[in-house]
Homo-oligomer: A and B are copies of this chain.
Amino acid sequence: MIGGGQLARMTHQSAIALGECLRVLAGSADEPAAQVSANVVIGAHDDLEALRTAAEGAVALTFDHEGVPLAHLQALEAEGVQVRPPSAALHFAQDKMAMRRRLSELGLPVPDFVDLSGDVPAAREALIAFGDAHDWQVVLKAVSGGYDGRGVWITSGRDDALAAFDANAGGDTILMAEEKVAMARELSAMVARSPFGQGAAWPVVETVQRKGQCAVVLAPAPGLSEESAQRAQQMSLQLADELGVIGNMAMELFETVDGELIVNELAMRPHNSGHWTMDGAVTSQFEQHLRAVLDYPLGDTSARSEVVVMANILGAEDAPAMSMDERLHHLFARMPDAKVHLYGKSERPDRKIGHVNIVGLPGATVDDVRERAERAATWMSTAVWTDGWDPHTAS
C-alpha cells in the first residue's frame, strides 16, 4: 500500500486476519502505518524507484491516498505490476475535470461545471459567464491534489469567487468551477469491486462535514428513502464497473433540498465515510478493500445494528494539557462500549488523529447514538466533557 497514513494502518489490521502482513511505502518510520507494520519501505510516493521497491514481489499495489503521479503508475503497469485500482480508473479520482466529464457522459447527475484550465484571461471570462449563468452560486476547485477541504473554495458571490480565482489561477493549481448545489445534506455510497467484477455496496450513509472535512457519519443515512438508497448504491456500483475500479470506491453525493442525488467527489480507497464498518458491519471496509485488491470474493456488507455513528477525533485548536492516554482512560470509564481507533499521530488543529464508533443497541435512536459518539470524540479532542451534539441546536 502506497502511503503510510491511518488508512494503511487500519488496512494492516485487516491484513493480519487474512494471514498477511501489509507492506507499506511510507515517507518516514513514524507515519501511522509504519509504526505498526513489520514490512515498511521508506520512500516518497512520487519517487518511481521507491514505488518499484515497494511493489517488488507484491501480489498487488494499492493506495491510501490519491497522490501518486499517474505516469508512475502507468510505468509500473507496463512493468507488470498489478496496480489496483488501475491507473485508468484512478485517473478519475485524481482529476476532478476528467471525473466530471466522464460522469456526464455516463448520464450520472453532476453539478454544472466549467473548465478553468486555459490561459488566465480566457478562464476568468469563462468563470464570469458561468457565475452569471448560475447566480454566482459557485464553488471553485483545484482539479487535483485537494483533500479534507483543501483545494475547494466555497464562494459567497461574484467578488469572492473572482478573488479566489485571482489568488489561485496562473500557478501550479489547475482550476475548475462548479455550481453550488442547494443541498439538504451529504451522503456517501461506498462500494467495493473485485477484478473478477463482483461488486458489493454498504448501506448509504450521511456524512456531516465541518470546516470542509468529514466530522461525523451516520449509518445508515437517517430517513433516506429505500428508493434513494438503492439509486445511490446502483450509481456507485455502475460507476465502479464503468471505470474498472478495483478495491473500494466512495461516491460522495449531495442530496438536494428537492431530494435529488448529485455526485460530488470520488475516492478509490478506504474512506473516512466507511470507518463505521470496522465495528458496525459484518465486513469492514479495510478487509473488503484487501479482498477486492487480492481478488477474493467480497464480504457481507450488512450492518450489525440498526444505527451506527462514527465521529472523528480531531486535533483541538489548543491541545489539552491532559494527555491522550489520560483522556482515553476517562472515556473508557464513562463509555465502556465506545470503540476507539487511534492513529498514532501527534495533535494539530483539525488533524484527524482517530475516530470513535458507537454501535447502537436494538431500539436506540440515531440522535442518542450520535450524541454519545460526538461527546466521546469531543472529549478525546478537547478534554471537555460536553453534552456533545444537541439535536435541538446543532447541525
Question: A299 at interface (Cβ–Cβ under 8 A)?
Answer: yes
Given contacts A342-B17, A354-B19, contact A336 B298 (CB under 8 A): yes
A359 interfacial contact with B, CB 8 Å: yes
A216 in the interface, Cβ–Cβ < 8 Å? Answer: no
What are 30 A-B residue pairs whose CB atoms fall within 8 Å in the complex?
Answer: A13-B16, A13-B17, A15-B36, A16-B36, A17-B339, A17-B340, A17-B342, A18-B328, A18-B340, A19-B354, A21-B344, A36-B37, A36-B38, A37-B38, A38-B40, A282-B336, A282-B337, A282-B339, A282-B359, A291-B332, A295-B329, A297-B332, A297-B333, A297-B336, A298-B332, A298-B336, A299-B336, A299-B337, A302-B337, A304-B304
A341 to B287, CA, bound (A): 11
In the bound assembly, the distance between CA atoms of A12 and B15 in angstroms comes to 12
> Chain B: which residue is nearest A40 at the CB level?
B38
User: Knowing A12-B36, A282-B359, A328-B296 touch, does A19 contact B344 (C-beta < 8 A)?
Assistant: yes
Q: Which chain B positions have C-beta within 8 A of A267?
A: none
Q: What is the CA–CA distance of A337 and B18 in the complex, to the nearest angstrom?
A: 14
Is A283 on the interface with B (CB-CB < 8 A)?
yes
The answer to whether A47 has its CB under 8 Å from any CB of chain B is no
How large, as a class, is the contact surface on chain A?
35 or more
Q: Give the Cβ gap from A291 to chain B, nearest Cβ, in Å.
A: 7
Q: How far is the CA of A35 from the CA of B17 in the complex (A)?
A: 12
Shortest distance between the CB of A326 and any CB in chain B (Å) = 10
- In the assembled complex, how far is the CB of residue A211 from the closest CB belonging to chain B, in whole angstroms? 23
| A65 contacts B by Cβ under 8 Å | no
Query: Contact: A300 with B19, CB < 8 Å?
Result: no
Complex Cα distance, B21 from A13, in Å, reads 11
Bound-complex Cα distance A329 to B339 (A): 30
Report yes or no: A283 in contact with B343, Cβ–Cβ below 8 A. no
Most B CB atoms within 10 A — which of A16, A282, A341, A342?
Answer: A16
Bound Cα distance A333, B198 (Å): 11
Task: Tell me, rounded to whole Å, the shortest Cβ–Cβ distance linking A359 to chain B.
Answer: 7
A9 on interface, CB distance cutoff 8 Å? yes
A34 within 8 A of B: yes
A181 on interface, CB distance cutoff 8 Å: no
A386 to B368, CA, bound (A): 45
Contacts of A12 in B (CB 8 A): 16, 36
A324 within 8 A of B: yes
Contacting residues, chain B, for A296 (C-beta < 8 A): 328-329, 332
Chain B residues with Cβ below 8 Å from A302 are: 337
Min Cβ gap A301→B in Å is 8
Which of chain B's residues has its CB closest to A299's CB? B336
Residues from chain B with Cβ under 8 Å of A37 in the complex: 36, 38
Give the docked Cα–Cα distance between A36 and B23 (Å).
10
Chain B positions within 8 Å of A332 at CB level: 291, 296-299
The 8 A-B residue pairs with the shortest CB-CB distance in the complex, in nearest-first order: A19-B342, A297-B333, A297-B332, A300-B337, A300-B336, A21-B36, A17-B341, A13-B13
Partner of A16 from the list B9, B40, B291 (CB cut-off 8 Å) is B9
What residues on B are CB-neighbors of A328 within 8 Å? 18-19, 296
CB distance from A118 to the nearest CB of B (A): 47
* Given A34-B38, A299-B337, 20 extra CB contacts under 8 A: A9-B16, A13-B16, A16-B36, A17-B340, A17-B341, A18-B342, A19-B324, A20-B344, A21-B344, A35-B38, A38-B38, A38-B40, A282-B336, A283-B337, A291-B332, A296-B328, A296-B329, A297-B333, A298-B336, A304-B304
